[in-house]
Structure 1
Amino acid sequence: MRKYDKVLMEMEQQISGGSYRSGHKLPSVRSAAARYGCSVSTVIRAYRELEQKHVIYSIPQSGYYVVEQPGEGSLEAEDGIIDFGSASPDLNVFPYLDFQHCLNKAIDTYKYHLFTYGETQGLAALRQTLVPHLADAQVFAAPGRIFITSGVQQALGILAKMPFPNGKETVLVEQPSYDIYLRFLEAEGIPVCGIPRSGGGIDLQLLEEYFRTGGIKFFYTMSRYHNPLGTSYTKEERQAIARLAGKYDVYVVEDDYMADLGDSRPFDPIAAFDRSGHVIYLKSFSKIIFPGLSLGAAVLPEPLLPVFKAHKSYMDTSLLSQAALDIYIKNGMYERHKHKIRSLYAERMARLNEALLRYNSAGLIEAPRVDSGIYMQMKLPQTVNLEQLEKRLHKRKIRVVSGKGFYLSGYLEREKFLRISISRARPEHIATGVAAIVEEAAATGWW
């Protein structure tokens, strides 16, 4: 991260975290430069950007002050609720002012172009901007292979219904997997079958058998920070999946929706190991910015482009939103916000791991260690009554999500678990919530 970006991010964190409250004076330019170990010009530039975003204001001959924001920081959880259920991003870290600035800039930059129908593939400028953005994640694609979609959901729907060059029809999904997509596949009557995946990974021999004999059109997977497991495939597993796809002419739909919320360690997705053109890479911008943006990107192999375009058929995502996202990425705001939200979620996940070590000493709950992302699977003994556990936790104002919905309707090899999300859980409430889950699980399971 550039020095300027780091300084600006730290300033924003101090303001949003309450170190500098509404109306308070910020350090002088020289003292701030000394504090951050940077030049005076870097501080001036950062203050000017904060001023443009209406976070601070200047008074001649006096200095810079924090703008009073009525209601800012007041988006707390409902009274007494410990929310381990919501998958939505934390409302308190939505980049409202940043994105508002980008929306205004987009209108100034693109003017009347925003009021046309646009291209089916999406705004050309954004697709071009995404080339280096995706390359940072080791996904290399020309703009012509990138489609902007109305969230990842639209891409998943199109892929399920369109024919593939391999002539196969069955969709293979991990079990458990993304509940909304499972319900869609079942409702649309798409041929679908499941393969077990646990916190320990997937049986590659069984996967190869499905690829070889199952008439598999594509394999839908989340390689990184799986929903609901929270775990990621090892490098060896990702390499093997890419190799098997080419060997048996099976496509892989890699839903990398958590690409920006992981830790800073390198992680090459399955697409990075694709040598045969069998991996479709999907990326969402909803988890990192806000769900209402409803923008995603699909990177497709060349043979799939004409069919996917025909099924998408028209421009159906807001050009203004696309233009604003283009500017948001280009000016470095996206990168800064990514680091901010990464550190926030990493802290909460660390607290979750610490709480499990403290309160789950008897080993009632099985949970893989997850260092980033937002999800963790808490596996329970078969003796636990899941419905009763949910009711008891609800009475204690603790929201959790049962693992039941993350399986295909007829799938029998189910684990009994809770999916825990830390995206909306207040850090100071996490330990209390975990202690209650362990206590109530023991009470309902006659442990």
Structure 2
Amino acid sequence: MLQYKYIDTVPVQMGGSIVKSEVSGENGGQGALKYAAIAADLKAEIMNRRLKRSSEGIKLPSVRELADKYQCSKSTVIKAYEELEKQHLVYSLPKSGYYAVIGSSDSRFNPDDETAPLDFASVAPDPRIFPYIDFQHCINKAIDSYRSDLFVYGTPQGLPSLRALLQERLADHQVFTRREQIFITSGVQQALAILAAMPFPNQGREVIVENPGYHNMVPLLKGLQVPCYAITRHMNGLDMDGLEQLLSTKTIKFVYLMPRFHNPIGVSLTAAEKKQLAEMVLHYDSYIVEDDYLADLDTDGKRDPLYAYDRSGRVVYLKSFSKIIFPGLRLGAAVLPPELAGSFGHYKSLLDIDSSALSQAALEIYIRSGMFDRHRRGIRDKYYARMEVLNGMLDRLSSAPAFAEAPRNGGEHTVLPLPANLSRKALLSGLLKRGVIAETADRNFVDEASVIPLLRLNISNVHESQVERGMLAIYEELKRLNRKKG
């Protein structure tokens, strides 16, 4: 049996009987702050999976229980739990207690397994770092807390309490709006379909898209028989002259843009470019639809969305939860200028009456409990670390033109410019033989004639320790193909 010595009534393993002593300092000798020792014990229990799981998740001992066990104050126990919350190991639910964050992790990943394929093609969030049981707990809570709302049709605008919560949180991202301007949608895709179909006050009939850009946007517009024009999105910005030419000569309803971490290139527009865009659409009586789908992955707290530069109600702001939680949640948020809100709500009610009340309620609980923020920080930090490795490899292998010319991005992806005469089919086949799954960006272009050969690299499903191996495999395969071509 383990024997302990108490240091400021914190048990420390010794070979004799239990005694008590005072702390000599946080880092001095065997001294340890009491809350740190409690946190260490709890962490060991969590990491070693010693705790029992219930239908509600893995509930941890109450503050009172731990205070009695460790002969300390409740505030000391709370501080221990706060420390574990910072490490994304526990979360709290009001009036319920503390629960272990489980299912995360890279615990199922073996960094020494060099036979496992490296998936640089997947754009979905990494399933290994999402605590499924925790979200299931939120769904169960939602059924209990919102059961009366689940048996009636809601409103096209969304759950009022969720919209109120999002109003507060969007303000943290410099998106200041009124609650009546926020609509919960069944994913951003639904918002785009509504915006493309509904009339705009400017009587515009055509839409401008980026080239390359979101691969589903052009098929959507074609399906709705909405004419569209394309402007080039360069590695270092947007074709502003081409955009102004179209705005000045066509009847443009709106311009669809991804200012932050553009898909597929990954670069972000500058503050000066965002300001110029806001002024341009006002001057030509048009609108911008801003798809800020990766906002939660940005580590630059000073980078504001284009919406923040709009002073005249000309920007529609779209936010997705698919990248930070999972695509199957099918929830997004749209912030509409007042003059568009009524028409948007009418068209949405014709499509689905309302978005899933259960998903909305679960998301609200997930956010209010603090789990969303802890998960967001965790996934953002992991993706940031992976992109840092990838960017470092681009510099290290910059003797190859594709690596030298590739954008150094944040977010979750970048592209490698490829030689025009290189067989992309042969490249993807060769990479697959080397255990690397990758994709070109061909489908992101509006038509085959405008395709620029790019290899799209997404790190959302590649562990940090394997990014280097994958980049070396890509480098070697490009070198092999170039030798063969020569």
Give the deviation of 1:208 after TM superposition.
1.6
The 2-side partners of 1:352 and 1:391 are apart by 22
- 2:157 aligns with 121
- 1:417 aligns with 454
Q: Percent identity, aligned pairs only?
A: 42
Deviation by residue 1:297-341 (Cα, 9 ceiling, x = unmatched):
000111111211121114342101101111222222211111111
1:55 to 100, 106, 130: 100
Deviation by residue 1:117-144 (Cα, 9 ceiling, x = unmatched):
1111111111111111111111111111
- 2:249 aligns with 213
* 8 A Cα contact 1:223 1:270, kept in partner: yes
- 2:80 aligns with 43
- 1:265 aligns with 301
* 8 A Cα contact 1:146 1:297, kept in partner: yes
- 1:444 aligns with 481
The 2-side partners of 1:393 and 1:15 are apart by 40
Q: How does 1:300-319 map to 2 (within 5 A)?
A: 300-313=336-349, 314-319=352-357
Helix, strand or coil at the partner of 2:333: strand
Q: How does 1:138-287 map to 2 (within 5 A)?
A: 138-287=174-323
The 2-side partners of 1:115 and 1:86 are apart by 37
**Pair 1:331-2:369 in alignment:** yes
Give the deviation of 1:433 after TM superposition.
1.2
1:401 to 425, 430, 439: 439
Q: How does 1:1-80 map to 2 (within 5 A)?
A: 20-23=47-50, 39-44=76-81, 49=92, 55=100, 73-74=107-108, 80=116
- 1:431 aligns with 468
User: Which is worse superposed, 381-390 or 285-294?
Assistant: 381-390
Give the deviation of 1:382 after TM superposition.
1.5
Change (3 A) 1:294 1:274: same
Which letter maps to 2:454?
Answer: F
- 2:29 aligns with none
Helix, strand or coil at the partner of 2:324: coil
Change (3 A) 1:157 1:376: same
Which letter maps to 1:55?
Answer: A
Deviation by residue 1:195-236 (Cα, 9 ceiling, x = unmatched):
001120012222222211132111100011111011100000
**Pair 1:340-2:340 in alignment:** no
User: Which is worse superposed, 247-256 or 261-270?
Assistant: 261-270
Which letter maps to 1:381?
Answer: P
Gaps of at least 5 residues in structure 2 are 1-34, 52-59
* 8 A Cα contact 1:226 1:375, kept in partner: no
Which letter maps to 1:400?
Answer: A
User: Which is worse superposed, 236-245 or 374-383?
Assistant: 374-383
* 8 A Cα contact 2:125 2:323, kept in partner: yes
Helix, strand or coil at the partner of 2:328: helix
The 2-side partners of 1:280 and 1:345 are apart by 27
* 8 A Cα contact 1:382 1:416, kept in partner: yes
Which letter maps to 1:422?
Answer: I
Which letter maps to 1:416?
Answer: P
Helix, strand or coil at the partner of 1:232: coil
* 8 A Cα contact 1:75 1:91, kept in partner: no
Which letter maps to 2:267?
Answer: T
Give the deviation of 1:186 after TM superposition.
2.9
Helix, strand or coil at the partner of 1:266: coil
The 1-side partners of 2:451 and 2:377 are apart by 36
The 2-side partners of 1:302 and 1:195 are apart by 28
Deviation by residue 1:79-125 (Cα, 9 ceiling, x = unmatched):
62110000000001113233222222222322212221111111111
Change (3 A) 1:394 1:308: same
Change (3 A) 1:153 1:53: farther
1:359 to 390, 397, 412: 397
Helix, strand or coil at the partner of 1:179: coil
Which letter maps to 2:280?
Answer: L
Change (3 A) 1:383 1:39: farther
Helix, strand or coil at the partner of 2:278: helix
- 1:4 aligns with none
Deviation by residue 1:357-395 (Cα, 9 ceiling, x = unmatched):
22332334321111x211101111212211211111122
* 8 A Cα contact 2:162 2:360, kept in partner: yes
The 1-side partners of 2:155 and 2:132 are apart by 27
Instruction: Decide which structure has the larger Cα Rg and report it.
Output: 2
* 8 A Cα contact 1:400 1:418, kept in partner: yes
Which letter maps to 2:346?
Answer: A
Gaps of at least 5 residues in structure 1 are 1-6, 57-66
Change (3 A) 1:213 1:343: same
* 8 A Cα contact 1:81 1:398, kept in partner: yes
The 2-side partners of 1:71 and 1:352 are apart by 21
The 2-side partners of 1:93 and 1:112 are apart by 33
* 8 A Cα contact 2:91 2:369, kept in partner: no
- 1:63 aligns with none
Give the deviation of 1:189 after TM superposition.
2.9
Deviation by residue 1:391-411 (Cα, 9 ceiling, x = unmatched):
11122221111111101126x
Give the deviation of 1:48 after TM superposition.
8.0
Compute the TM-score of the two structures, normalised by the length of structure 1.
0.85
The 1-side partners of 2:295 and 2:178 are apart by 19
Which letter maps to 2:108?
Answer: S
Deviation by residue 1:337-358 (Cα, 9 ceiling, x = unmatched):
1111110000000111112222
Give the deviation of 1:19 after TM superposition.
9.3
Deviation by residue 1:28-75 (Cα, 9 ceiling, x = unmatched):
979xx9xxxx9442225666849956538xxxxxxxxxx8x7999437
- 1:373 aligns with 411
Q: What is the Cα-based RMSD across aligned positions, in Å?
A: 3.2
Compute the TM-score of the two structures, normalised by the length of structure 2.
0.79
Larger RCO of the pair (alpha carbons < 8 Å, separation 6+): 1
**Pair 1:297-2:324 in alignment:** no
Give the deviation of 1:176 after TM superposition.
0.4
The 1-side partners of 2:142 and 2:345 are apart by 26
